[in-house]
């Protein structure tokens, strides 16, 4: 349980910091010009918090813990990258398939971002859990 908690906190902190940087830098540059009419004036925090809690759980359960148990860094990187790509592709490709105005640029950039942020966040959680276990 401690291993899960340490991995979770490490993953969550990395994801939160990276996503805050991403969103503050990219909303006006990428999202607003392409899908501005779809954006809320202010994000709704309850669904955002639920997303982050669930998503970090997914990263830890599907990438970090299996890598800690049996695979090491290579397994972590592959599982995290695949999870990030699939999760963000699900959101973006569904939007592109169902909404009148959805940008292919956003789909491609978001999928790359999802792969990156998930892999880096999982790596932080993995490193935190390994560091804690070695203490």
- pLDDT tens digits for range 74-118: 999 999 999 999 999 999 999 999 999 899 999 999 999 999 999
Q: How far is CA 88 from the centre of its chain?
A: 8
User: Cα torsion for 48, 51, 54, 59, to the nearest 10°?
Assistant: -110
pLDDT at 43: 92
Residue range 34-72, pLDDT digits in tens:
999 999 999 999 999 999 999 999 999 999 999 999 989
Please state, in angstroms and rounded to a whole number, the distance separating the CA atoms of residues 126 and 33.
Answer: 37
135 has a pLDDT exceeding 90: no
> The whole model's pTM is what?
0.95
Cβ-based neighbour number of residue 33 at 10 Å:
11
DSSP label of 103: -
């Amino acid at each position: 349980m401690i291993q899960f908690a340490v991995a979770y906190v490490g993953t969550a902190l990395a994801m939160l910091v990276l996503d805050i940087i991403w969103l503050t830098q990219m909303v006006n540059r990428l999202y607003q010009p392409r899908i501005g009419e779809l954006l809320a004036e202010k994000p709704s925090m309850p669904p955002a918090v639920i997303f982050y809690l669930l998503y970090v759980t997914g990263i830890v359960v599907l990438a970090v813990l299996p890598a800690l148990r049996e695979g090491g860094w290579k397994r972590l990187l592959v599982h995290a990258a695949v999870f990030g790509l699939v999760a963000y592709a699900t959101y973006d490709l569904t939007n592109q398939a169902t909404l009148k105005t959805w940008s292919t640029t956003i789909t491609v950039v978001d999928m790359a971002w999802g792969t990156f942020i998930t892999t880096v966040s999982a790596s932080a959680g993995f490193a935190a859990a390994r560091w804690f276990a070695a203490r």
